[in-house]
Amino acid sequence: MDLNKRYTPQTWPDHPETATLEGKNKFVGFWLLLAAETVTFASLFATYLALKDKGPSGMEFSASGLFELPLVFAMTMILLTSSLTSVYAMYHMKNHNFKAMQAWLGITVLLGLAFLGLEIYEFNHYVHLGFGFTNSAFSSAFYVLVGTHGAHVVFGLSWFIALMLRNAKRGLNMYNAPKFYLAALYWHFIDVVWVFIFTVVYLMGVIG
């Protein structure tokens, strides 16, 4: 089959992401990656929980004194909304509406950038308070956990942008449909991890 074959909404398969063998392989491999990522994040969460509020004696920073909920709430809402906008993008992908898909992906990227901006502001704020990476076991565990999530956001955004630019003139075909689908899955997974970060790190941190 020619992967660059042109399709119309009428001839577009119901599940373009798994319609080719290549797509199927990517799909299975990607879920395996997500399962492995779950374990990676679990070890970072476990480290954080074990080292929460721990550090040298006389350490002035603790989770309950440091974290502020309004910023975290805004970040949560932004990321959750960006998860929905990528669902919209995939809805249009399945309808073979390339322009609408690109538009919704664009909105997703903008929301992701807003999230990233707030995270950078937050880290910068903490460092100015003196809560740097080497401040304590607690600070190292916090920055590694939340920072790894932030790195995933950066990667997800780069992935979206690369796909959007690379395929801007190609339109949707069997070659790139699985790619868009997997990038959207990755973005949802980033939101899944954030749900636990805002619950375990921030909410449980604020109540001490």
List residues binding another protein (CB under 8 A): 1-3, 9-14, 18-22, 28, 31-32, 34-39, 41-43, 45-47, 49-51, 54, 69, 73, 76-77, 80, 83-84, 87-88, 91, 94-95, 137, 174, 185, 188-189, 191-192, 195-196, 198-200, 203-204, 206-208
Nearer to another protein, 28 or 168 (CB): 28
φ, ψ dihedrals at 190, nearest 5°: -60, -40
Cα–Cα distance between 183 and 91 in angstroms, integer?
14
Shortest CB 145 distance to another protein, Å: 12
- With residues binned 3-state (H G I as helix, E B as strand, rest as coil), the percentages for the chain, rounded to 5, are 75, 0, 25
Cα–Cα distance between 93 and 177 in angstroms, integer?
7
Shortest CB 202 distance to another protein, Å: 9
Collect all residues with Cβ–Cβ distance below 8 Å to 93 and sequence separation of at least 6: 16, 101, 172, 177, 180, 181
Shortest CB 105 distance to another protein, Å: 15
Cα–Cα distance between 128 and 17 in angstroms, integer?
46
40 token code pair: 């990676």
Nearest Cα to Cα of residue 201 among 138, 151, 124: 138
Shortest CB 110 distance to another protein, Å: 18
Nearer to another protein, 168 or 170 (CB): 170
Nearer to another protein, 9 or 65 (CB): 9
Nearer to another protein, 11 or 134 (CB): 11
Nearer to another protein, 113 or 137 (CB): 137
Shortest CB 165 distance to another protein, Å: 24
User: What angle, 0 to 180 degrees and rounded to 10, lies between the N-to-C axes of helices 69-94 and 177-196?
Assistant: 160
Nearer to another protein, 127 or 140 (CB): 140
Shortest CB 147 distance to another protein, Å: 19
- Side chain identity, residue 126: Y
